[in-house]
Amino acid sequence: MGEGIVSVPTVDRRAVFRAAALWLAFLAPFFYLTYGVANWLAAQRASVPNLAFGWERHIPFLAWTIVPYWSINAFYALSLFVNETSEAVGRLARRYLTAQIVAVICFIAFPLQAIFVRPETHGLPGFMFDVLGGFDKPFNQAPSLHIALLVIIWDHWRGRLHGAVLALWHVWSLLIGLSVLTTWQHHFIDIPTGALLGLFALWLFPAQGPSPLAGFRWTEDAKAWRLARFYAAGAAAFLLLTVLTTYGSGGGLLLLWPALALAIVALGYAGAGPRVFQKRADGRISLASRWLLWPYRLGARLNVLWWTRNLAPAVELADGVFLGRTPRRSELSTYVAVIDMTAEMPAIAAPGLVWHAFPSTDLLPLEACRIRAATLAVEDASRHGPVLICCALGFQRSAAVAACWLVRAGYAANAAIAGERIKAAGRTVHLRPEIFAAIDEAAR
């Protein structure tokens, strides 16, 4: 194969082909049926609103961009057949299905219409527009299902291509994205809302590991419930603001972003746990998590700045082991390794730095097994040089691990004394008595 393409392992090509064909046989009719019903229902209304900005009238109509616009149909089908296993086919199909179901529900509940009338077009573009007009009416707008599927398909191929072919794929994907505007099929606000939907489908069915909602169990922890309700209330507030502000401007739909981010965090506290952040053992987070939860992470970073504004980034406890808040890139040259207890913050890549992540939910007590695993990582890493133990603020999650390390290293007889030693080193910590038992258990 060409050097720009990664060959797909032939695990069981027949199983992959069979799974792809069966899914496509279901998805294609399902799409045209539900999409058509949404269009028909909107057409029955006396009036259908639109959310177009005034500046959009300056977007040129480029007839030739119907070609990249249409090309997503081919990639939609082809992507199902380019997979390593039948399970991977199912994952991609579920992403498609999620995007289609959510989008169609939005089209039926809140129909919008495109208000620009395309000029008469001839030749191949004219033919393609005529075919499109046979089933696509101007009602199914936000979120753009075209953009949602593009996000899913772009992500599917970017991990399978390299070099010039990958660069070409990025360019073509950009053309597909822009074509929804230059064919006058959509208005601008449909694009970010569609991208949000596509990212949600990627988040719900990640490429690595199970769905963050798999095995969901309602928490029995009272504090976790309080925090879940707090974030759910925040999500509801942003959703209400979305409704109120959208009456005046389509830009109000952008408030769906923080609403969705806070709703996901609420699910994490309610029972899904730190999996909602999709953080790996090396500290990296998935593309979907990175973007979907960006509003929450922005708030978390501002919170770090506020609470640690008068504190040193980190303090040395003993033997080159430091405790501190989540570091900045400029502060990493001191360390050979970082033991990161946050679930919400991504790792920072730096030359020669090893990042060990033990994703844990903020403000909730750590289990003894997690404290011990992180402490053993500290012991191993400290043999090679200075080590930073960190969480968002450096007050609780990382402090529990630091206290355990002090006990195991012989600097403190128990967790309570270790906590006092950390305070004496100049670090504010919030270790409650109930965590001491878990620390002492982990230290044994």
The burial of 118, by beta-carbon neighbours within 10 Å (0-12 exposed, 13-18 middle, 19 or more buried), is given as middle
Question: Whole-angstrom Cα distance, residue 348 to residue 414?
Answer: 33
Q: Among 106, 369, 390, 391, which one carries the catalytic annotation?
A: 391
> CB count, 10 Å around CB of 370?
18
In terms of C-beta density within 10 A (0-12 exposed, 13-18 middle, 19 or more buried), how is residue 218 classed? Answer: exposed
161 contacts 224 by C-beta, under 8 angstroms: no
Q: For CA atoms 365, 368, 370, 371, give the dihedral sign.
A: positive
Q: What is the DSSP string of 369-398?
A: HHHHHHHHHHHHHTTSS-EEEE-SSSSSHH
The reply to whether 404 belongs to the active site is no
Structure tokens at 346: 């991504």
Sheet with 337-342: strands ordered across: 314-318, 321-324, 387-390, 337-342, 354-360
CA distance 48 to 129: 23
Residue 339, classed as helix, strand or coil, is strand
* SS3 at position 318: strand
Catalytically active residues, by annotation: 391
